Each structure stands twice: as structure tokens, then as C-alpha cells.
Amino acid sequence: MRRNTPFHYYCLFPNRRCRIRLSLRVPDSPAEVVHSLTEELETWNVERTWTEVKGLLDKQPKDSDLLELASLTAFYRGDYQEAQKLMKTALALGGEDEKKKGFALFFEETIGVTAPFKKYESPHFIISLDEGQDAILADYLMDTLEKTYQIMAEKYGFQSKQKIRIEVFPDAKTFSFASTLSARTSR
């Protein structure tokens, strides 16, 4: 259930008085807060969600649902080690269900696949790739992505506040370990 808390504001104008009533949404429960932040994450407001979730975790460090959300948010941010750590904590606190176990396994596979990746940074991008196989592409990718970014920013009037993360996987099989797509689908 959602509860609205009325907020009254009175203003005085010459020769009359007006009353404005606003309703502010106040979450009823921790579950509702987690649900609301999950919706925020699903709209790709990752950094905003991360900030909110970290603040809540400071107050409720043993809430397994909040830890799960923090884990997913860390994953969306590309911080796979943190995602795994948070999910393991959620599991250890008694939130052991198949969904959390599945995420923990998925994160573990992603960490294994991306471990040999090297990061390259440009003004607007963070590119991770397998240095042994794809290092030759790094400069070309950064140059091309930066030029494309400038064109798109001018055309659409939008610039990302955070650097855009790009991960280059060496093949379809490796990609399938770090995505929800099968190797067959990703070919």
C-alpha cells in the first residue's frame, strides 16, 4: 500500500489567501523501497540507484533483499567483484533462494570470463577487452567511439554524465558466459 502524507503550504497574496495541498509519496516498507529502486535500476538509472542503495545499506547492512539489489546494481555498473561479494553476503544472511544462487553463479562466470580483460579509458568511454587477442583494436575503438560520441552529442544534445562502459568479448562462447544469451543466439 502507498501512503500519502499531506503537505500544506499557505501563501498570502494581497487581499486573498490561497491554500495549496500536495501529496508526497512515503514508502510503507523496506520491501516497497527495494521495489521502487529496482524499477529505477531497470530504467538504467544505475548511478542514482547505486547512491541510494549504498546509503540504505549503511543503515540496513543485513537486509538480504537490499543486498541483492545492491549486487545487481554493482553488476550493472560493471563492478563484478563487488556484485559477487554482495550476493554472497545476501546468501549468507539467510536469503538463500534459487534466484540469488543463480545470480551468484552468473557473476562468478562473468568474473572468470572478464578476468584477463584490460581496461582502456578515453574521455567518454571505458573499454575492456582481452588484451591478448584484441589489444590491437583499443586505439582504433577509442578514436572511433570518441568521434561518434561528438557527432551524436551535437545531433541529440545529450552527453552522458558517466563514462560509457564497452566490453569486447573475443568470441560468442565467451560472450554467452557474461550475458543472458546463449552461445547459439549470440552468433
pLDDT over 60 at 132, yes or no: yes
Which residues make beta-bridge pairs with 121? 126
Query: How confident is the model over 82-101, as pLDDT tens digits?
Result: 999 999 999 999 766 899 99
Determine what percent of the chain is predicted with pLDDT higher than 70: 81
Residue 17 exposure: Cα atoms within 13 Å on the Cβ side: 3
What single letter denotes the amino acid at residue 125?
F
Query: How confident is the model over 133-180, as pLDDT tens digits?
Result: 999 999 999 999 999 999 999 999 999 888 999 999 988 888 888 887
Average pLDDT, the chain: 84
| Runs of H (alpha helix) within 43-137 | 46-59, 64-76, 80-92, 98-114, 131-134
- The mean pLDDT value for 1-23 works out to 44
**Is 154 part of a structural domain of the chain?**
yes
Query: How confident is the model over 98-125, as pLDDT tens digits?
Result: 999 999 999 999 999 999 999 999 999 9
Same domain, 96 and 154: no
Same domain, 76 and 49: yes
Same domain, 34 and 96: yes
Same domain, 108 and 143: no
Q: How far apart, in Å, do the first and last CA atoms of the chain sit?
A: 45
Name the domain boundary from 114, 132, 161.
114
- The mean pLDDT value for 55-65 works out to 92
**Is 184 part of a structural domain of the chain?**
no
Length of the chain: 187
Same domain, 42 and 75: yes
Same domain, 129 and 155: yes
**Is 4 part of a structural domain of the chain?**
no
Name the domain boundary from 83, 114, 145.
114
**Is 21 part of a structural domain of the chain?**
no
pLDDT over 60 at 27, yes or no: no
Same domain, 83 and 56: yes
- Split into its structural domains, the chain has a count of 2
Determine what percent of the chain is predicted with pLDDT higher than 90: 58
The whole-number pLDDT of residue 97 equals 86
Same domain, 103 and 152: no
Cα separation values, 146 from 129, 157, 167, 170, Å: 17, 15, 16, 22
Q: Assign 11 a pLDDT band (cuts: 50, 70, 90).
A: very low
Containing domain of residue 166, as a range? Answer: 117-177
The whole-number pLDDT of residue 181 equals 74
Same domain, 52 and 104: yes
Name the domain boundary from 114, 145, 169.
114
For residue 110 the three cell numbers come to 562473468
CA distance 140 to 166: 13
pLDDT over 80 at 13, yes or no: no
